[in-house]
């Protein structure tokens, strides 16, 4: 299911959480939605999942507006850190509700994931630890088999091994049954190998939307004698630089690089990663890249 967003804005009183955002999420791809604290990611995901109304602009999920659209909302799930299961229900009751709400609910998947996360279906949800509540949220998000599945930092409280289990399971489920997955995270290094597409939101605006591999090709880390580096990088886009004892390391962006030539010139060349790009690009404001 495609998600098309055109000129979307959201204001809270005088503050603008989203400003004129236009984006296309294509069906059956995994998107990494990244940005600093307060960038507007959660607001965007909530509007996408029909939990909030935009102030301006248009959002179409599979061609329809999700807000107060019950039929469509049974095809969209948003799992976030504040999954609130603090009530008298048992895990098995929560799963029954999921099965009633989501038409594509898969009991087999739910049972398998419960076992993977070592959750006891008889357990009362108010007794769940933070990590267990996150795991239950993940079970619901994946067993719902919704066409659009959104995870807004779903792993709060999950230890490293449970988080890696989540990443493996997510990929396995996606490969078995592709769907549009939007994953927002601050643990970019851990998750970025799952992304096909990367979107960076900065101060309520789309800073960048790119295929992940293409994005990595656009960037390179280069080290060498300061003079030589300064000479080579003249006129190029340097998004980060550090200098120590006559040597400089720079992160270059938005260019095509001849790695063999750079090595021949005596520079040390290293690949970069999505986390560094997110951090340094959101420090600078002169980049707008759209594919």
Minimum Å gap between C-beta 177 and ligand ATP is 28
The pair of structure tokens assigned to 1 is 């299911």
Its sign, for the CA torsion 35, 38, 42, 48, is negative
Question: Binding mask 151-190 vs ligand ATP (x if CB under 6 A, - otherwise)?
Answer: ----------------------------------------
Q: Which is nearer to ligand ATP, 39 or 169 (CB)?
A: 39
- Residue where the block lists tokens 């070592």: 118
Report the relative pairing of strands 237-244 and 148-152 from DSSP bridges.
unpaired
Asked whether position 12 contacts ligand ATP by CB under 6 A, the answer is yes
The Cα 89–Cα 23 span in angstroms is: 38
Asked whether position 8 contacts ligand ATP by CB under 6 A, the answer is no
Minimum Å gap between C-beta 274 and ligand ATP is 16
CA nearest neighbour of 65 among 81, 41, 80, 48 = 48
Identify the residue among 32, 40, 141, 224 touching ligand ATP (CB under 6 A): 40
Identify the residue among 34, 41, 79, 98 touching ligand ATP (CB under 6 A): 41
B/e letters for 232-242, b = 16+ CB within 10 Å, e = fewer, are bbeeebbbbbe
Identify the residue among 14, 37, 108, 244 touching ligand ATP (CB under 6 A): 37
Asked whether position 42 contacts ligand ATP by CB under 6 A, the answer is yes
Identify the residue among 39, 47, 188, 278 touching ligand ATP (CB under 6 A): 39
Identify the residue among 3, 31, 32, 35 touching ligand ATP (CB under 6 A): 35
Query: Which of the 8 DSSP states describes residue 94?
Result: H
Q: Which is nearer to ligand ATP, 18 or 119 (CB)?
A: 18
CA–CA–CA angle 148, 154, 155 (5° rounding)? 145
Asked whether position 38 contacts ligand ATP by CB under 6 A, the answer is yes
Q: What's CA 221's distance to the chain center, in Å?
A: 24
Q: Which is nearer to ligand ATP, 42 or 109 (CB)?
A: 42
The pair of structure tokens assigned to 55 is 């102030």
Count of positions on this chain that bind ligand ATP (CB under 6 A): 11
Task: Write phi, then psi, for 28 (nearest 5 degrees).
Answer: 60, 40
**Which spans of this chain sit near ligand ATP (rule: CB under 6 A)?**
12, 15, 17, 35, 37-43
């Amino acid at each position: 299911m495609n998600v098309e967003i055109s000129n979307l804005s959201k204001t809270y009183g005088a503050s603008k959480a989203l400003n004129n955002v236009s984006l296309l999420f294509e069906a059956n791809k995994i998107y990494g939605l990244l940005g600093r604290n307060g960038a507007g990611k959660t607001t965007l995901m909530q509007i996408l999942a029909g939990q909030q109304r935009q102030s301006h602009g248009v959002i179409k999920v599979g061609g329809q507006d999700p807000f107060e659209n019950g039929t469509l909302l049974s095809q969209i799930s948003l799992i976030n850190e504040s999954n609130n299961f603090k009530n008298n229900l048992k895990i098995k009751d929560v799963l029954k509700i999921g099965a009633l709400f989501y038409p594509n609910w898969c009991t087999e998947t739910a049972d398998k994931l419960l076992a993977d996360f070592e959750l006891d279906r008889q357990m009362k949800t108010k007794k769940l630890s933070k990590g267990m509540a996150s795991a239950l949220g993940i079970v619901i998000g994946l067993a719902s088999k919704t066409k659009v599945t959104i995870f807004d930092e779903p792993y709060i409280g999950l230890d490293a091994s449970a988080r890696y289990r989540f990443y493996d399971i997510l990929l396995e489920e996606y490969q078995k049954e592709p769907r549009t997955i939007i994953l927002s995270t601050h643990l970019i290094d851990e998750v970025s190998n799952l992304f096909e597409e990367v979107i960076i939101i900065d101060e309520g605006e789309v800073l960048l939307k790119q295929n992940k591999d293409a994005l990595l090709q656009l960037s390179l880390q280069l080290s060498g004698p300061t003079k030589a580096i300064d000479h080579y990088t003249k006129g190029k886009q340097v998004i980060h630089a550090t200098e120590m004892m006559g040597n400089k390391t720079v992160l270059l962006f938005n260019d095509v690089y001849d790695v063999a030539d750079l090595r021949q010139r005596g520079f040390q060349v290293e690949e970069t990663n999505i986390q560094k790009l997110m951090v340094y690009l959101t420090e600078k404001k002169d980049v707008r890249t759209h594919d």
